[in-house]
Structure 1
Amino acid sequence: MMRCLLLAILGILSLAHPLAAHESRPAFLDVREFAAGQYEVVWKRPMRGDYVIGFAVGWPDGCAPTVTNENQVPGASITRMLLDCGETGLIGETISIDRLPETSAEVLVRIEFADGTSQTQLLRPASPFVTVEGPRSAFAVGAEYLRLGFDHILAGIDHLVFVLCLTLMVGGGWTLVKTITAFTVAHSITLALSTLGLVRVSQAPVEAVIALSIVFLARELLLLQRGRPGLTSRAPWLVAFVFGLLHGLGFAGALREIGLPQGDIPLALLAFNLGVEAGQLAFVAVVLAVLGLGRRAISSAPPAWVRQVPPYAIGTVAAFWTLERILTA
């Protein structure tokens, strides 16, 4: 019963807020130094229909922005500008995002310095500002990308639902270890290849097929509950590996938006992937803990029709995501 309840809750939450799925991106502020105190800025704000989210950048005193271009792409408004901060530059100064505390949104800020090092920080309503620290140590870069990877996977509802379905189908024990390991190895491969530019795939179809992979697992879970185990039940590690390759391309899309520090690409890539894995394992641990508590608290099995509600709910939401991503591509 607890298993059904857990799936139903996630299905309802996903249906109620479909834009929280993986294709949803935060606003993005990209600041790149090209000369002492001189910066090129790209300010990307998400759109809801024709409405542009009304964030504004609060630049430090002494910095003068000049807008050079404004245009719109599907789902976002992009403003390009030049920023002159004089001889002192941005180091030690604070950049804020006005109106962010009034929302539940996030803003990713990336500042690249002339020496190729960078600083990346995810701003939330509770902390809508970043203090520019300047070039940082390799340890600081690794910790930053570890956190970004962890945050990213926990914000990707579609990836979590996929992992949840695998966990519910496989259960615990050694089989689950092999299945999650296969998924991890696979998405690590394509994340690295895509981020380094060795594999190039359009992000829109990738996101649509990721949603379709959840439809497939929802069907497999339904078949298992009806006593007709499918491919995933027979070879879960194989299915996890194949779809893991696809999900890695989805992770890479987010990492490309964040960017990698030129001086620490291998470290940042490794740390981001470890952060993704840490978030994934934390989620699996919570699922197993909830299921364990549920088994102890509930002794009687639910009716057959109740067990079929969650797969249908998850499949319906995933089908909606698939169509939405195809139509908005």
Structure 2
Amino acid sequence: MSRLSWLLGLLLAALTSQPTFAHEVKPAYLELAESGDGQWQVLWKMPIKGGIPAPMEPAFPTKCHEQGPRLSREATGAIIQRWQLLCDGNIEGERIAIDGLQHSMTDALVRVTRLELPAQTARLTPRQNSVAISPAPTPSAVAQTYFVLGIEHILLGIDHLLFVFALLLIVVGWRNLLATITAFTVAHSITLSAASLGAVRLPQAPVEAVIALSILFLAAEIVRAQYGQIGLSYRKPWLVAFVFGLLHGFGFAGALSEIGLPPSEIPLALLSFNVGVEAGQLLFVAGVMLLSNAAMGAASQYRHLAKLAVSYGVGSVAMFWTIERVASFYT
């Protein structure tokens, strides 16, 4: 992968220009659950960015009216509110919107659960901030929603991409690259599934800190290799990718837990999210490889220095994330 070297600084800058937003995919979440006699229970989760709640608010059909006070509490990175709606008659075909979403840079996940019908799950965006309540949502709609969420998560999860990027600097040869990426994929798929289904649980904050440390480890391995000290990452990159991939899977699961899984379609939603993560990862690898092919004519005498400089840059960003995330244990 040496022909990557001269453009690594540019790619690193693009990946880390906003390091504090690493691994931050926190869509708003709205759940509307039917409880009978025209009554619906509302759960509304507003993401907090920079200490300020996102300026968004659910908008329901005009035949629905809020009943009683809202119960509000603050969770990690979000404010959660619960209240009750009373709707006059059937609301199928009516629209639910998130006012203010069109002026934001985030998405919203909406789930409608009814007593005698399958749950409906929809993803709203700034361009499409409303959805009609359908009589019978299809599994394909659930699959599409979670597939896109998986792609978004990996492409906006800068720490995961930086780890893959560091692996690309280490691995030489297509066979080794295929084995390494496959090992990383298998590993984080195992822990993502196990954690999402509740079979295994780990505190999210330490997981995030160790994910940052995994990037720092690879950066140190690259630097040492430039001085002739070949470490485990070079000898067995697939093994390192698998071990750290298990930890990254817990990071993916943490993001998925914030989004939630539809109770009636858990296997499909989980599979779709996982496939979306892999699709996004492959898009990233393909993009880096295309750039590397374009850089084949770079002067060879600068590649060693460029690779060394970028390794220090990757390590510095990873160290910043590590300190930031460990400090969050005490706040």
Normalised TM-score (structure 2): 0.90
Deviation at 1:226, TM superposition (A): 2.8
* 2:8/2:307 contact within 8 Å kept: no
Structure 2 distance, partners of 1:97, 1:256, is 21
* Mean CA deviation greater in 34-43 or 235-244: 34-43
1:33-86 deviation per Cα after TM superposition (whole angstroms, max 9, x unaligned): 333643222222222454222212222211223443112234322221212223
Conservation of the 8 A alpha-carbon contact between 1:117 and 1:261: no
Q: Report Cα offsets for 1:268-327 as digits up to 9, x if no partner.
A: 2222211111111121111111111111x3243316443322111111112212222222
Counterparts of 1:228 and 1:263, CA distance in 2: 52
Identity, in percent, stands at: 46
Whether the 8 Å CA contact 1:165–1:217 is kept in 2: the answer is yes
After TM superposition, the structure 1 stretch with the greater mean CA deviation from structure 2, 313-322 or 7-16, is: 7-16
| Residue in 2 that maps onto 1:300 | 300
| Structure 1 position 240, deviation (Å) | 0.5
The letter for the 2-side match of 1:76 is: A
Kept in 2, the 8 Å contact 1:4–1:307? The answer is yes
Instruction: Quote the residue 2:324 is aligned against.
Output: 324
Contact 1:220/1:230 (<8 A) preserved: yes
Structure 1 alignment gaps of length 5 or more: none
Change (3 A) 1:234 1:280: same
Matched, 1:88 2:113: no
- Alignment match, 2:71: 69
Q: Does the 8 Å contact 1:116/1:263 carry over to 2? A: no
Deviation at 1:13, TM superposition (A): 3.7
Question: What is the letter of the counterpart of residue 320 of structure 1?
Answer: F
Mapped to 1, the partners of 2:264 and 2:13 lie a distance apart of: 44
Q: Within 5 A, what are the aligned runs for 1:107-256?
A: 107-115=108-116, 117-256=118-257
* Aligned residues of 1:222 and 1:308 also touching (Cα < 8 A): yes
Residue pair 1:149, 1:276 contacting (<8 A) in 2 also? yes
SS in 2 for 1:198: coil
Residues 324 and 135 (structure 1), Cα distance of their counterparts in 2 relative to 1, 3 Å cut: farther
2:259 corresponds to 1:258: yes
Say if 1:114 and 1:203 are closer, same or farther in 2 by CA, change over 3 A. farther
Distance 2:145 2:27 in 1: 17
2:260 partner amino acid = G
RMSD, matched Cα: 2.3
Q: CA offsets, 1:102-160, max 9 Å, x none?
A: 23233233333334733333333222223333432233322332222222211211111
Contact conserved, 2:152 with 2:280, CA < 8 A, in 1?
yes
TM-score w.r.t. the length of structure 1 is 0.90
User: For the residues of structure 2 that align with 1:294 and 1:57, how far apart are their CA atoms?
Assistant: 49
Where structure 2 has 5 or more consecutive residues not aligned to the other structure, the ranges are none
